[in-house]
Amino acid sequence: MLLSELVEPLEEKRQIGSGNPDISSIAYDSRCVTAGALFVSTRGQQFDGHDFVDEALHSGACAVMADDPKRIEAFRLDVPLIAVPDTRRALPILANHFFGYPSRRLKLVGVTGTKGKTTTTYLIEGVLRQAGLSAGVIGTLGARIRGAPVPLERTTPEAVELQGLLASMVSEGVAAAAMEVSSHALAMHRTDGCEYDVGVFTNLTHDHLDFHGSIEDYLETKLMLFDSYPRASKKPFTAVINADDPRSERVCRATYGDILTFGIRNPADVQGTNVSVNAKGVSFLVLCPAGQFHVALSLGGIFNVYNSLAAIGAALSLGVEAEQIKSGLESIRAVDGRFESVDCGQDFAVIVDYAHSPDSLENVLKSARELTRGRLILVFGCGGDRDKMKRPVMGKIASDLADLCIVTSDNPRSEEPQAIINEIVAGMDERASVEAIVDRLEAIKRALDAAGAGDLVLVAGKGHETYQIFKDRTVHFDDREVVRELLCGSGSG
């Protein structure tokens, strides 16, 4: 695509230097530049792309886009330079145009909220496949195109990768896709230009305030999916909203399109009732516009009833029939690191979960409590370089709901692990049974050694993650692997 054609959709632009090269790719990371690329100098939280223009040119970039006036004046380039007001806002427009507006050529469901995004997208994928539709999914666990895995670096990829991934789905014949839409992605304009048929609001609780600053800003960012995005699209839009969330009315008021609510406690279009939780999963009756049907889900926790109701609402909005929805939900056996059981034949239960916010930890602990007749033993920590306000709050929740709390490292990043642990413990009840063990493997070992018949060990915070991030290194670490190795090594499995 010629440079002039590629930048045509940008309302404000100015070319410095002559030339109209054929653009073979778009890159915002100088390390990913190949011959014929347009290098877009974006600014992130750590790096400024304007600092890497020379590297991009050395790697073969044939055009550059920039938005820093002082730097633009200083550049003396042998390739055309496109000056724009904001490269981060320009990037998704370019990517969308370059890949032929792929979201217009399939049904796209965006799922946003603090908790439940991953499971909800996987439930939607299962329902779509059961309905005979070729499906795609994008999110924390990576992407899948018609069942084939595609690794991702972020929950919601940067605009170039995202639009390229959607284009690949279109070329592979995908009819509908479900994707997690994180608040970071919305704020950083990664999803700009995506045209959604359905937007799902799961819930909103205390998280990511280190990035957003306030819960109000966090909510306003989420609302983009329900207001400004459908306003910019020609597709009809349906919002699927959790009626039991305190902010549901606010989301409903902001929605530009149709609304379908779901819930258990409050009246909703998709109502869950007769809920039963047991060791094998949850079951419930669904009352919805398509009639009523019973679902027996092989996923534990009351929160998965909500995730299922959200998936049902999305599927109904796409025209999937009730029987196909029921079959699709019941076909899902597990979602990596989401209330995932690890069974090596031991006489106590072990569950690994991604819960890393106050509300999600509380929900998982309450669900775990319902499944055990013995003691509830918790292993958890908090990530470094993230919202510090939630650490004592999570400590209080843990000490209130678990019989034994073992506080350990999560992903400490640049912070000292012991300092993070101290902030968690500061919020805990002094009368609670609490142990602090910095080494995560030793903490898990201690929990398993302490467990007896009928107890339940919950290892929370990292879930599906296969790594641990320290100040100076990243190492392989998978809670599920560690549990299996310890149980088998101890002769319990």
Going by C-alpha positions, the residue among 351, 344, 357, 345 that lies closest to residue 383 is 357
pLDDT higher than 60, residue 492:
no
Residues 364 and 299 in one domain: no
- pTM for the full predicted model: 0.85
Residues 482 and 352 in one domain: yes
Residues 485 and 371 in one domain: yes
Q: Rounded mean pLDDT of 444-453?
A: 97
Residue 437 domain-assigned (yes or no): yes
pLDDT higher than 70, residue 490:
no
Residues 262 and 321 in one domain: yes
Residues 451 and 378 in one domain: yes
CATH number at residue 243: 3.40.1190.10
Going by C-alpha positions, the residue among 190, 263, 262 that lies closest to residue 229 is 190
Residues 164 and 255 in one domain: yes
With a CB cutoff of 8 Å and minimum separation 6, the contacts of 251 are 201, 222, 223, 226, 239, 241, 245
Residue 93 domain-assigned (yes or no): no
CATH number at residue 18: 3.40.1390.10
* Domain that residue 415 falls in: 340-489
* Residues above pLDDT 90, as percent of the chain: 84
CA distance 85 to 489: 60
* Residues above pLDDT 70, as percent of the chain: 97
Q: Which residue has the tokens 């969330």?
A: 245
Q: Please report which confidence band the pLDDT of residue 493 belongs to, taking 50, 70 and 90 as the band edges.
A: very low
Q: Are 351 and 340 in contact (CB under 8 A)?
A: yes
Residue 69 domain-assigned (yes or no): yes
Q: Which residues pair with 277 in a beta bridge?
A: 282
Q: Are 195 and 162 in contact (CB under 8 A)?
A: no
Residues 68 and 126 in one domain: no
Q: Provide the domain count of the chain.
A: 3
Residue 464 domain-assigned (yes or no): yes
Going by C-alpha positions, the residue among 142, 128, 140 that lies closest to residue 176 is 128
How high is the pLDDT of residue 70? Answer: 84
**What are phi and psi for residue 83, nearest 5 degrees?**
-95, 130
Could you write out the DSSP letters of every residue in 439-487? SHHHHHHHHHHH--TT-EEEEES-TT--EEE-SS-EEE--HHHHHHHHH
CA distance 327 to 341: 22
How high is the pLDDT of residue 69? Answer: 83
CA distance 408 to 394: 13
Residue 166 domain-assigned (yes or no): yes
How high is the pLDDT of residue 111? Answer: 98
Q: Are 41 and 48 in contact (CB under 8 A)?
A: yes
CATH number at residue 435: 3.90.190.20
Arithmetic mean of pLDDT over the chain:
94
pLDDT higher than 90, residue 214:
no
Residues 321 and 344 in one domain: no
Summarize pLDDT for 77-91 with one digit per residue, the tens: 899 999 999 999 999
| Length of the chain measured in residues | 493
Task: Order across the sheet with 63-66: list the strands.
Answer: 14-16, 81-83, 63-66, 37-40, 25-27
pLDDT higher than 80, residue 206:
no
pLDDT higher than 50, residue 44:
yes
Residues 429 and 354 in one domain: yes
Residues 197 and 307 in one domain: yes
Residue 206 domain-assigned (yes or no): yes
How high is the pLDDT of residue 382? Answer: 97
Going by C-alpha positions, the residue among 241, 232, 137, 118 that lies closest to residue 182 is 118
How high is the pLDDT of residue 152? Answer: 83
Residue 438 domain-assigned (yes or no): yes
Which of 277, 297, 330 is a domain's end point? Answer: 330
List the structure tokens of 212.
Answer: 């957003």
pLDDT higher than 70, residue 243:
yes
Q: Identify which has the larger pLDDT, 300 or 397.
A: 397
Q: Rounded mean pLDDT of 447-468?
A: 96
Residue 67 domain-assigned (yes or no): yes
Q: Please report which confidence band the pLDDT of residue 53 belongs to, taking 50, 70 and 90 as the band edges.
A: very high
Summarize pLDDT for 353-406 with one digit per residue, the tens: 999 999 899 999 998 998 898 999 999 999 999 989 999 999 999 999 999 999
Which of 330, 351, 374 is a domain's end point? Answer: 330
Q: Rounded mean pLDDT of 16-44?
A: 95
How high is the pLDDT of residue 286? Answer: 98
Residues 13 and 77 in one domain: yes
Summarize pLDDT for 54-79 with one digit per residue, the tens: 999 999 999 999 999 888 888 888 99
Q: Please report which confidence band the pLDDT of residue 278 belongs to, taking 50, 70 and 90 as the band edges.
A: confident
Residues 310 and 358 in one domain: no
How high is the pLDDT of residue 43? Answer: 86
